[in-house]
Amino acid sequence: MSTNVKPRTVKLIARFIRPRCEEGLLSVPEMNEILGNLKSLAAKGEMLPAVQPKLIDQREAAEMLCLGLSNFKKLEKSGMIPFKRKMVGSAVRYRNTDVIAYLLANDGEDDAPAEDDTQATESNARRKTA
């Protein structure tokens, strides 16, 4: 079965559903799964393969994100890790499906507002001249 989904169609849909997520109509995992599947459909012509869900530890999650364990822990502490931790006794675990969905949904994020990039560039330029 062939598909006619284009990458720019995926970007348009992403811009439409992100505000719905912020309003609480969609959960973040739902949005990530939708966007991940749409991006895969546009790129490969097929939906994402089913992944066997399992709980992984912090080291495994950090490896999946290509981060060192200490950097992963810092990012989690600062609230930059968007998926929730699960406590199994005193052990911290994460769903591998949440990590995969995050990676796929944020793969090649070039549809973010350009204003943030412009502000960061201006801020860096001001620091260099000061």
User: Is the four-CA dihedral 36, 38, 44, 46 of positive or negative sign?
Assistant: positive
Q: What is the domain range of residue 3?
A: 1-49
The total number of structural domains in the chain stands at 2
Residues 69, 105 within the same domain: yes
Residues 104, 64 within the same domain: yes
Residue 126 lies in a domain: no
| Residue 28: per-residue pLDDT | 86
Residues 69, 56 within the same domain: yes
| Residue 2: per-residue pLDDT | 54
Q: How far is CA 83 from the centre of its chain?
A: 9
Residue 127 lies in a domain: no
Which of 68, 108, 65 has the alpha carbon at shortest distance from 83? Answer: 65
| Residue 123: per-residue pLDDT | 45
Positions of the chain with pLDDT lower than 50, given as ranges: 110-130
Residues 70, 96 within the same domain: yes
Residues 22, 66 within the same domain: no
